[in-house]
Structures are given as C-alpha cells and as structure tokens.
Structure 1
Amino acid sequence: MAEDLRDSDTLLFLTDAQLRRAIEAMFFAYRGFTADPDRILSERGYGRAHHRAIHFIQRAPGSTVTNLLAILGVTKQSLNRVLRTLIEDGLVESRVGPHDRRERHLYLTDAGAELEAELSTAQRARMRAAFREAGPEAVAGFRQVLEHMMDPELRRLFAAAREGDR
C-alpha cells in the first residue's frame, strides 16, 4: 500500500481502488492486532466483548455500567451477559455507588488486572513494532486518520480518555 500512497499530493484525491486497498489493509491489520488476544481469550472461553470490557474497566476503574455502555455501544443485555461472566469468574468486581445505590461501579480484581496486562502486552508489542517500523510522521498521521474516522461523540469519549493519561 505504501507504493500507492507515496505522493502526498495525491492523498486527498484517492481513487476508489486505493480506498478499497486501505480498507483491506485495515481489515488485515485488525486481524493481526486481535490475533494474540483472541488466542489468550479463547483459552479461557472469552471473546472480544470480554476483552473490550476488561480494557475499559482497567482504563477507568470505578466506571459505571452506564458509562461502559456508552463507550462500548452495546446493548445493556449483551453487556450484562459479559459482566456476569467476568464477575462470576472473579475478574471484575461490581460495587454499589457511594451516592446512588442503583449505580454499579466496576473494578478489575487482581486476576482481572493480570489478564488485562497479558492482553495489552501482546497488543502493545505489535503496535510498538509497527510504529517503530513506520516512523514518527506515519504514527502521527495514523492517529489523525483514526480520530477523523470516529463519530463526533466517540471522538469526545476518546479525547476524555486521553486527558486521563496526563
């Protein structure tokens, strides 16, 4: 794909064939990005929904179920199925809210944190290697493209999470 996009002047005028090629690259990159976590998860009988829940609970310990629903964009029923399994298996703890007893605040247990670390270590290694190979300008451009592909509400959620990193 790099050969298709060498001339930066043509980047704003991509052909349908070049865009299809980029879409395919994204599919294959995602397949690679999820390969190691999928293997780790399948050994435990979990799937990608479990991974996403664990990831975002780790990112924001004490987050509410409502907040997690907004981030993941799934139905309450499907999230409840995932959370029930993670809680029963001792990976997630659900605590009653300090101000509103109807709220449930989510935390990873030590076992949940260990699984999250195993999953994210594999993904960070793949990302780190790809970023090193591509170089700093490509990394900055990649991040910009990803952010511009997000719907505005998701971009706000992403920006809020990034603020928490500082």
Structure 2
Amino acid sequence: MTVTAKPIGKTAAKADERTPGRAAGLETGPLTEAIELLFFAYRDFISDPDELLAKYDFGRAHHRVVHFVGRNPGITVAELLNILRITKQSLARVLKQLIERGFIEQQTGKQDRRQRLLYLTALGLDLEERLAAPQRARVAAALDQAGPDAEAAWRKVLLALVNEEDRAEVERLITKTPGPRD
C-alpha cells in the first residue's frame, strides 16, 4: 500500500524542508514534529503501566491482552489474535503466564468446544483497572486542556492512522457497549 503524506498545518503547499547540519535524508518540519510528538506521547502514555507491569515481570503484550480481554469478556483466542496481530506462539506464552498467575481464566465454548473463551478474574479486573486509571487520567487531562473540539479531532486523527481496510472493524470494536468501568 502506498501512502502519500501531506504536511500538517496551513502550509500545505510546502512539504517538510531539510535543515542544514542534519544527517542526509532526515526531514524536519511540521510532519516530522507530529511524528516525534506521537513517539514522546506514547512513551509517557505507557510509562505508568510499564512501572506496574514490571512489578509482575510482565511486559506490554501482557497489558494489551489484559486490556482486550477486559473489554471483550468471553473473547476467543482467535479473535484476540486478530486484534493483536501477534503470533500464536507469542500469545500462548503471554496467556500461559496470565492464566497461571490467576489474572485470566479460560473456558471452553458452549457451542464449539474447540473454542477457548477468555475472561479476566477478579485479580485480572483489578490489574486492568490499575493499568488503565493513569492512562484514562492522562488522556482526559490532555483532551480537557486541548479544548472543546479536541475529542472529535483526536478520534478522527487516530482512526485515520489505522489502515483503511481495518477502520470499520476497529470502529466496531471501540464503539461496542462499554465495560463496567468505561
């Protein structure tokens, strides 16, 4: 898929310009700044959960699994693989740790006994809440600081960053009936 990047801001006629003294091939300007801001924002967005995860000797894959199982009680392993886009082997390792340590329980499907349905345990629900709370607070504060139209713009930009062929499915996943703490 070919993506054509457009500069950010009112200077649409002028793409990122090279800055003297920078390494060849490194662009600067509003588009590069927006990308760098995304890196820095992500770094800080995950910093609080990373600290908590480290106490359990867990990583970001554990966080993503806890998040999506919490948002989708009874999700199948196949559905989780589709959302996370990781290998079965990677998911199996992470799930094994979360199940063995009592954060997730696995049940056999009622209609299809081959299915493994995943649920957070009480311990998992507590972990999910402690991981999500600082992130919710950070995003809420940022949106509040950015002004009344920020939430709609935030959603529009992030959804546009999702691969076009995946947008409808992502929208379906994020707009379903919220969980108990949303």
Fold-level similarity (TM above 0.5): yes
Moved more, 124-133 or 10-19: 10-19
Q: Are positions 1:68 and 2:80 aligned together?
A: yes
Map 1:30-45 to 2 at 5 A. 30-45=42-57
- Residue 20 of structure 2 aligns with which residue? none
CA displacement, residues 133-162 of structure 1 (integer Å, 9 cap, x when unaligned): 111223321211110110134322321123
- Residue 10 of structure 2 aligns with which residue? 9
Match of 1:27 among 14, 32, 39: 39
Cα 1:22–1:64 change in 2 (3 A) is: same
Match of 1:78 among 90, 108, 111: 90
TM-score normalised by L of structure 2:
0.82
Write 1 or 2 for the structure with the bigger share of helix. Answer: 1
Percent of paired sites with the same residue: 46
The one-letter code of the counterpart of 1:9 is: K
- Residue 132 of structure 1 aligns with which residue? 144
TM-score normalised by L of structure 1:
0.90
Moved more, 53-62 or 138-147: 138-147
The one-letter code of the counterpart of 2:111 is: H
Structure 2 residues not aligned, in runs of 5+: 1-7, 17-26
Match of 1:97 among 91, 109, 122: 109
CA displacement, residues 6-45 of structure 1 (integer Å, 9 cap, x when unaligned): xx53368653521111111000000010000000000110
Question: 1: distance between equivalents of 2:63 and 2:96?
Answer: 14
Higher relative contact order (CA 8 A, sep 6+): 1
The one-letter code of the counterpart of 1:80 is: A
Structure 1 residues not aligned, in runs of 5+: none
Structure showing greater Rg: 2
The 3-state SS of whatever aligns with 1:155 is: helix
